[in-house]
Each structure stands twice: as C-alpha cells, then as structure tokens.
Amino acid sequence: MIVFGVDLSCPVIQTLICVAVVVSLTAVSLLRFYAYISCGYYHGRTRMDGKVVIITGANGGIGKETATEIAKRGARVIMACRNLETGKQVRDEIAETTKNDNVILKKLDLSSQKSIREFAEDVIRTEPRLDVLIHNAGTAESKFKKTEDDVEINMATNHFGPFLLTHLLIDLLKKSAPSRIVVVASELYRLASLNLNKINPTSSWCPAYYYYVSKYANICFTLELARRLEGTNVAANCLHPGMINSGIWRNVPFPLNLPLKLIVKGFFKTPAQGCQTSVFLACSEEVEGVTGKYFMDCAERALSSGATDESKAKKLWELSEKFADLRATDPKI
Ligand SMILES: NC(=O)c1ccc[n+]([C@@H]2O[C@H](COP(=O)([O-])OP(=O)(O)OC[C@H]3O[C@@H](n4cnc5c(N)ncnc54)[C@H](OP(=O)(O)O)[C@@H]3O)[C@@H](O)[C@H]2O)c1
C-alpha cells in the first residue's frame, strides 16, 4: 500500500514505524511517570473530625477530589456548587466511598452576587463554625461575557466572587480560629499582568486572557488578605495545583482544542494529584501559623515581583470592593 508516496509494505518502512511507535509510547510513559514522581503528595494522616470545611466547585475536577480527601478525614464538608444535579450525584458518591454522611450540598453560583449572598446567609444561619474555606471553583471562558452584575465572567467567578464570599464569611472564620482560607490560583498567572485600569474590561479581543488575570488577582488577593488578617489566627494561602486533566480546558476553541486534548490526556496530572496541595493547606500541621504564601506540590514557592507588590494588591482590593459591590453593612477585613 502506498501512502503519501511511501510504500508501507516495505519491511524497512514497517520497522521504522514500529520504532517510532515504541519510542513515542516510551516517551509518554516516562513523562507520565515523571509527572507522578514529581507530584507533591500529602501523606499526612491529620484527622478533621468536628471541623467544618467549605469547598467551592466540589462537583467535579480538583474540587471533587479535595472534597473526597477532606471527607475521608472526618470533617463536615459543605460542597458549594452551582449545579445541584451533578452536585447531588457527587455528594452521594463521596458520602458512600468515604463512609462520611456529613457531606452536604448547597447552591452557590460565584458569578452571581445574589447567589453568593444567599449562600453566605444560609451558612451563617445554619453553621455554628467554619474552619476552612477552600476557594476552588474556577472557570476559563473563551467568549467575552458579562454577568448579571455587569462584571466580566472570568473575573467575576474566579476573583470578585471569592472576594465577596470571603468578606461575608470572615466573622464565622474568625470565631472558629485557628481557621484557614485556601485559594486555588494558577502558575499561569505568569502569562498575565495586572492592569488595574482594566480590571473589569468592557470588551476584549482575547477573553481567555482574563482567566490568567483572575489567577493573578487570586494571588494578590490572598497576600493582601493575609496582611489584613494578621493577629486574627485566620491563615490565608494560595496554590498552584499542577497542570491537571480536568474540565477547565473545555472551552478552548477549535482547532487549538485538538492538540490540547492530546496533551491534557497524555501529560497532565490527574485531579486526585491536583488536590494534594489544597488538602495539605487545609489540614496539615506543617503549615500551622503559615500565612500569605504561595504553594505548589505541597511546598512553598516563590512568586514574581509583580505578584508580591503590596501597593498593587491594595489598589486591587479597593477596586474589588467596588466590583464585588461590597456594602457598608458587610463585614470589613
Ligand atoms: N486544571 C488545571 O490544570 C488547573 C491549573 C491551575 C489552576 N487550576 C484551578 O483549579 C480550580 C479547579 O479547577 P478544575 O481544574 O478542577 O476545573 P473543572 O473540572 O472545570 O472544575 C471547576 C469547578 O468550578 C465550578 N464552577 C465553575 N464556575 C462556577 C460558578 N460560577 N459558580 C460555582 N462553581 C463554579 C465547576 O462547576 P460546574 O461543574 O457547574 O461547571 C466545577 O465544579 C480552578 O480554580 C482552576 O482555575 C486548574
């Protein structure tokens, strides 16, 4: 058979094809093995009985694995999800596999300030304590879209939403101290810069860029939050989970999505590997008292000078108060 002028019945060509396939499979296996051994696993056995932990976006990807790990440790887990249908299935699955029935599901759409306020009111009304708040939910939208609150969708869901939620729950976290806030950011923040004049853009030729900006904002927010919470015994840290095979890549447009699918499936880590640093920061004794830091693979990592710029973080905070519509009656941090 002749394909593109190459005679596939030739034994030399057949041998070359076999060698190429074996080399490719070996390379993929080695890379996957490297991803496995280079992943920072949290092997600690810390129990979390009696603790209350909120995990946003817990119905899939890294959030589902985080919820499972925390439920295994005996905590009361509040899965804060926008999709109650998949949320219910995942909730039941987690309760069954972990033998922890103290896993509950609550509605939270982080792109809606109304939903965030309703969720927070419900938590404050029903939960006497909150030990850990894990800001895990995230979206990477590739089409420019504004939310009902007139905020760009990536920034609303990934930054302004968690900013507002943190304010509304801060008194409960303070009351339950020592308590922790964990923010799932991303190393991809390095692809963005934080233009404070365009933190809520009215248009964009590359909407996906605002995913990176929102992850940059996650880091500046966490560092400023930690400074403002000094002396309260509420710690705030952020992390990069690794490059993970999860739903976050679903909106990458054609034709970029085709090679990306292969890369994500072939080389990226699993969600179970991706949750390790979140779980570590949520419960490890090793990080007791540690605040305002950035982690990857369960170890502290350095940030760019831009991300640690205090004046920039302060300005971002003031702008976030405006775009998250923080009210005079809301708790101040
Ligand atoms: N995957 C990676 O390689 C990677 C790398 C760096 C950082 N991260 C970060 O890791 C976090 C978890 O992402 P993932 O990788 O696990 O992605 P994922 O599989 O897409 O999960 C994202 C979760 O967030 C939820 N979510 C999205 N928009 C929401 C909204 N408006 N309100 C409430 N929940 C919402 C999703 O709910 P639905 O099921 O309803 O959509 C889902 O449960 C994100 O913050 C992401 O930025 C991921």
Whole-number Å distance between alpha carbons of 95 and 83: 18
Whole-number Å distance between alpha carbons of 281 and 182: 7
In a domain, residue 143? The reply is yes
Residue range 236-292, pLDDT digits in tens: 999 999 999 999 999 998 888 999 998 998 889 999 999 999 999 999 999 999 999
In a domain, residue 43? The reply is no
Distance separating the N- and C-terminal Cα atoms of the chain: 72
In a domain, residue 304? The reply is yes
Residue range 299-332, pLDDT digits in tens: 999 999 999 999 999 999 999 999 999 999 999 9
Tell me the CA–centroid distance for residue 62 and ligand 1, in Å. Answer: 7
What is the residue range of 302's domain?
Answer: 51-323
In a domain, residue 17? The reply is no
In a domain, residue 236? The reply is yes
Residue range 46-64, pLDDT digits in tens: 999 999 999 999 999 999 9
SS (H, E, C) 212-266: HHHHHHHHHHHHHHHHHCCCCCEEEEEEECCCECCHHHCCCCCCCHHHHHHHHHH
Q: What one-letter code names the amino acid at 127? A: E
Strands (E), 85-205: 103-107, 132-135, 179-184
Q: Which among 17-31, 202-216, 221-235 has the top mean pLDDT?
A: 221-235
Indicate the number of domains in the chain: 1
In a domain, residue 7? The reply is no
pLDDT value of position 19: 85
Q: Which atom of ligand 1 is nearest to the CA of 214?
A: 47
Tell me the CA–centroid distance for residue 69 and ligand 1, in Å. Answer: 17
Mutation test of ligand 1: which of 78, 246, 261 has the most ligand atoms closer than 8 Å to its C-beta? 246
Tell me the CA–centroid distance for residue 60 and ligand 1, in Å. Answer: 8
Question: Residues near 173 by Cβ (< 8 Å), separated by ≥ 6?
Answer: 130, 133, 179, 181, 234
CB 77 within 8 A of CB 93: no
| pTM of the predicted protein model | 0.93
In a domain, residue 59? The reply is yes
Is-catalytic flag, 41?
no
Instruction: Report the CATH number at residue 188.
Output: 3.40.50.720
Tell me the CA–centroid distance for residue 9 and ligand 1, in Å. Answer: 48
The residues lining ligand 1, judged by C-beta closer than 6 Å to any ligand atom, are 56-57, 59-63, 82-83, 86, 108-111, 136-139, 157, 184, 186, 240-241, 243-244, 246-248
Residue range 3-44, pLDDT digits in tens: 777 788 888 888 888 888 888 778 777 777 776 777 789 999
> In 39-150, where does DSSP find H-type helix?
61-72, 84-98, 113-126
List the catalytic residue out of 189, 210, 211, 212.
211
pLDDT value of position 22: 83
In a domain, residue 2? The reply is no
Confidence of residue 109 (pLDDT cuts 50, 70, 90): very high
Q: Which atom of ligand 1 is nearest to the CA of 268?
A: 3
